[in-house]
Chains A and B, each alone.
Chain A
Amino acid sequence: MIKAGPIALALGLLAAGSAALAQNAADPTARARADFPVSAAISRSPDEAVFRARCGYCHLEMGFGTLTLMKAQGPVKALLANRTDLEGDYVRAVVRSGLLGMPAITRAEVTDGELDAIVRYLTRNNPRK
């Protein structure tokens, strides 16, 4: 069933002006951040910048992709930036083919070079094989 918390908050965000929103207006992302810990190993790199610019619409704290993943795989795996289990080829396939409700991304929007950067970023903390 539905967990309260982030979902209720996000609903408040959608429903601009709700009581939930009023309570959280000072820092709307505070609750979400608590539920989506950003890995301490995060590096402020050019690769991360590409990820944020190209994937951030949906894959930052309050994004469509993050909330979809939270529901499917739980809060730890919801933020792509935290993942250590994404293979590069899998990332490439999802970006170019789409996945469930996520549209495929064209090479006009994310160039092959940018996709390389995104793959480097999302696999940076993977365990060495």
Chain B
Amino acid sequence: MSDAPLPPGLDRASFDKALGELRKTLGDDKVLATELDRQTYLDPYALGTGLDHESCGALTPTSVEDVQAIVGIANAHKLPLWPVARGKNLGYGAAAPVLAGTAVVDMTRMNRILDVDTEFAHCTIEPGVGFYQMDEHLTANRIPLWMSVPANGWGSLVGNALERGIGYTPYGDNTSKLCGLEVVMPDGKLVRTGLGAMDGNKAWANYQYGFGTSWDQMFAQSNFGIVTKANMWLMPEPELSFHALVNLPRMEDIVWAMDVLAKLRLSGVVDHNVVFGNYLHDASAMTTRADWYDGPGPIPDDVAEKIQKKFNVGWWTFHISVYGDEPVAMAKKGLIDAAFKDKLATPIPWVPLRPGEPREPLAVAAGKPFVLPLAVVNWMGGRGGHIGFSPILPPSGKLAWEAFLRRKKRFEAMGLDYYSSFTVGHRHIANVNMILYDRDDAEMTKKAHDLFVQMIGDAREEGYGEYRTHIDFMDAVSKTYDFNGGALMRLNEAVKDTLDPNGIIAPGKNGIWPARLRKGRVA
């Protein structure tokens, strides 16, 4: 039996007093603070025990008033809070806070679907609403709207959008589909952004910016408030879509393929995030390493070829779709076929999809939630974990190739299997370098950690930075954003100190620490 870790500045007695007040105000059933509770909020894929990020327990509000009460008590006692939507930020720390002793504010039970506007294609939801819950709602009510679903569909629509997660339909830049937030600020006041700043405004969910300064993105990947409600745009079900998986046999194929895909994205012919991954992308989801290779060090290239033959996949595979009214979808499909005509040995194997046909087999490409890709954690055997290093690159085949060569070499020098995807966005590549490890193998997790640190440095040297990171690396990654001596972080800190003088909301989130804890920042 071990005691809860205490947040800095609180002793056992003052912590117990704060917890007692929370119990009294919220009710016992909304304060989850047993040793077992704390264990359930550890990062399930931590590089190590995860105890360096152990919470002091979780608070589970069911209303805006609960959230305001929590913030009030936290201010009075300087109890730090770590808000999560459904806590499924897997690979980034899940529900665990940066700072040990922080109380998780778990919004799982604030899960009301307040409105789905079928005519204008948007919804108003609480942060606890999950992709499966929304899918059931849309299906049961025969609402012809699609969500944009990330690779792990276990989580929350709002949480994913606030972390700038992505999906794979034309609405896949999830954070850009937020249209107005309701936020409990660090002083407990309730704010609505965008047109929602006008009480009763009828167009809140139709126009993002509002009047004057626009604040929605201020609450993404930050610690300036607790989002309690959001409007999100949904995609009208297309009259016709086509979906295809394309294999490219040689590793050098990434050079021309990135250039072709980037051009199709820029021109708008392809209007979704194109997942472009190496063979491990599929093999690691369905098999484990021991099925292929039990030697030490990274998988040799000849074994990799065997895996590719077995699954009939290339060195690279990518998924491509078109969506729209029938003439639009047909025309786009034709343009894509033409762009690849001289490059591929066989025609693109398109699969059509129309309303009323089952979307499940196409999963995320057709807005249906899916958790299966999580199986990558089984790759190394044992108690598996994954962590992704994801710098943003310009959409260039040459630059992707250079990044590929350098990262692959780094993985192999560290004795780890190289697994990478180059997701082609509208005007960028998100290059996810996925490190898979066995958590019970101390040497392997140390290598995974060291490789991650190495890649942060490499990318900074090349002029690239990550779009999102794990709680272990938030300080290190934020430091790579170093223009003018870290002027952006100084701005973040000025905002933090003004809005949250007691420093209670998510200390350390994305490298932003409140004044009273700034000295303790990890170097």
Contact = CB atoms under 8 A, between A and B. Distances in A.
B303 interface: no
Interface string A85-107: 00000000000111011111111
Given A67-B372, A108-B60, 9 more contacts: A11-B311, A14-B285, A57-B371, A64-B375, A100-B382, A100-B383, A101-B374, A103-B45, A103-B94
A13 B108 contact: no
A67 B361 contact: no
Contact of B371 (A58, A100, A107): A58
Contacts of A15: 245, 282, 313, 317, 319
A21 interface: yes
Interface in A93-126: 96-98, 100-109
Interface stretch (A22-30, A35-43, A75-83): A22-30
Contacts of B206: none
Interface in B334-378: 349-351, 357-358, 360-366, 371-375, 377-378
A17 interface: yes
19 contacts: A7-B286, A7-B287, A11-B282, A11-B285, A14-B373, A15-B313, A15-B317, A16-B321, A16-B351, A16-B364, A17-B362, A19-B349, A29-B360, A56-B132, A96-B39, A96-B40, A108-B32, A108-B109, A109-B87
Nearest to A25: B361
Interface string B119-134: 0000000000000100
Given A16-B245, A57-B154, A58-B371, A104 B351 contact: no
A67 B37 contact: no
B15 interface: no
B36 interface: yes
Given A11-B282, A14-B373, A107 B40 contact: yes
A67 B132 contact: no
A81 to B, nearest CB: 17
Contacts, number: 138
A63 B373 CA distance: 10
Interface residues of B, number: 60
B106 A108 contact: yes
B384 interface: yes
A1 interface: yes
A103 B90 contact: yes
Contacts of A16: 243, 245, 319, 321, 351, 361-366
A17, A21, A63: most-surrounded residue (chain B CB, <10 A): A17
B291 A108 contact: no
Contact of A18 (B32, B245, B285, B286): B245
Contacts of B357: 25
A68 B361 contact: no
Given A21-B361, A57-B153, A109-B108, A63 B371 contact: yes
Contacts of B351: 16-17, 21-22, 25
B245 A10 contact: no
B310 interface: yes
Nearest to B291: A2
Given A17-B365, A57-B371, A106 B106 contact: yes
B430 interface: no
A10 B373 CA distance: 10
A55 B41 CA distance: 18
A24 B361 contact: yes
Given A19-B349, A28-B361, A109-B108, A104 B319 contact: no
B95 interface: yes
B58 interface: yes
A33 interface: no
Contacts of A17: 243-245, 319-321, 349-351, 362, 365
Contacts of B362: 16-17, 21
Interface string B312-328: 01000101110000000
A18 B366 CA distance: 15
B40 A104 contact: yes
B288 interface: yes
A100 B384 contact: yes
Contact of A98 (B44, B363, B382): B44
B383 A11 contact: no
Contacts of B37: 106-107
A10 B372 contact: yes
A25 B358 contact: yes
A71 B282 CA distance: 16
Ranked nearest first, the 6 interchain pairs of A and B with the lowest CB-CB distance are: A103-B44, A101-B377, A28-B361, A17-B243, A17-B244, A108-B108
A59 to B, nearest CB: 10
A101 B42 contact: no
B378 A101 contact: yes
Nearest to A103: B44
Contacts of A22: 349, 351
Interface in A38-63: 56-58, 62-63
Contacts of B373: 14
A17 B372 CA distance: 16
B378 A68 contact: yes
Interface in B391-417: none
A106 B41 contact: yes
A63 B360 contact: no
A73 B280 CA distance: 24
Nearest to A62: B372
A18 B246 CA distance: 8
A13 B363 contact: yes
Contacts of A108: 32, 58, 60, 87, 106, 108-109
A106 B365 contact: no
Contacts of B320: 17
A64 B313 CA distance: 21
Contacts of B44: 98, 102-104
Contact of A67 (B32, B60, B375): B375
Nearest to B136: A53
